[in-house]
């Protein structure tokens, strides 16, 4: 029954996504597919492009704004382009407009050479400086990652925490702090209930 409900929900989200589909979103998909070609999700064999597309689908549940949805598709193109630096904020701005570029840059880790703790701390500190659209994008990104992690722990156990250069406690603490920061920055964020639900699920199954 639960599987059927998830399938129905995904179908509804997809149908809504197609209703808000625009040429800008189509171009963003083509660009992101090219940038992330050959990349896979950390510790898996899953094509990386599934993540930004999931973020876009999450955003399409709560907004019809094509720039926000396009930013969801593009949100990792600067940070995870190979080679590093081959896609810049300027590139995104010229191709997709200043508003999209600001959102993508807001959720981009600016110095990947820093240790994990320093990078995540800088990203957390930046949240209060974000506008509402960037906050919505950031929430969708965190929600997508949280949902994946919940599913991975349920199916593969806690060994999935070993994928990252941080302890299990540090990873869980980061999600708690992210959720708190996002709620503080925009208490009316429509994705907060889902974010809290997934955080609670991860904390419960990771005890």
Q: In sequence order, what DSSP letters do the residues of 157-193 get, joined into one string?
A: -GGGGGGSSS-HHHHHHHHHHHHHHHHHH-TT-TTHH
pLDDT attached to residue 2: 44
The residue ranges of every structural domain in the chain are: 2-205
CATH code for residues 2-205:
1.10.3210.10
Compute the distance between CA of residue 47 and CA of residue 32 in angstroms, rounded to an integer.
Answer: 12
Do you know the residue count of the chain?
207
Compute the distance between CA of residue 152 and CA of residue 160 in angstroms, rounded to an integer.
Answer: 7
Indicate the SS3 state at residue 40. Answer: strand
pLDDT attached to residue 8: 63
pLDDT attached to residue 136: 98
- Is the pTM value of this prediction over 0.85? yes
The pLDDT profile of the chain, 207 residues, written as one tens digit per residue, is 444 555 665 566 566 666 778 899 999 999 999 999 999 988 788 899 999 999 999 999 999 999 999 999 999 999 998 888 899 999 999 999 999 999 999 999 988 889 999 999 999 999 999 999 999 999 999 999 999 999 989 988 888 887 787 899 999 999 999 999 999 999 999 999 999 999 999 999 987
Compute the distance between CA of residue 139 and CA of residue 72 in angstroms, rounded to an integer.
Answer: 10
């Amino acid at each position: 029954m639960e599987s059927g409900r998830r399938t129905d929900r995904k179908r509804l989200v997809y149908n809504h996504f197609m209703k808000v589909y625009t040429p800008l979103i189509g171009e963003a998909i083509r660009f992101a597919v090219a940038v992330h070609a050959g990349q896979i999700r950390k510790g898996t064999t899953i094509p990386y492009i599934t993540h930004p597309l999931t973020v876009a689908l999450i955003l399409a549940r709560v907004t019809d704004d094509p720039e926000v949805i396009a930013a969801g598709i593009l949100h990792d193109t600067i940070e995870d382009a190979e080679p590093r630096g081959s896609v810049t904020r300027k590139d995104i701005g010229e191709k997709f407009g200043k508003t999209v570029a600001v959102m993508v840059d807001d959720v981009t880790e600016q110095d990947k050479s820093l240790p994990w703790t320093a990078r995540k701390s800088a990203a957390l500190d930046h949240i209060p400086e974000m506008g509402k659209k960037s906050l919505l994008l950031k929430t969708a990104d965190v929600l997508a990652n949280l949902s994946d992690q919940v599913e991975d722990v349920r199916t593969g156990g806690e060994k999935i925490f070993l994928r990252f250069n941080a302890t299990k406690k540090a990873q869980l603490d980061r999600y708690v702090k992210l959720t708190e920061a996002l709620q503080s920055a925009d208490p009316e964020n429509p994705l907060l209930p889902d974010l809290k639900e997934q955080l609670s699920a991860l904390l419960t199954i990771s005890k």
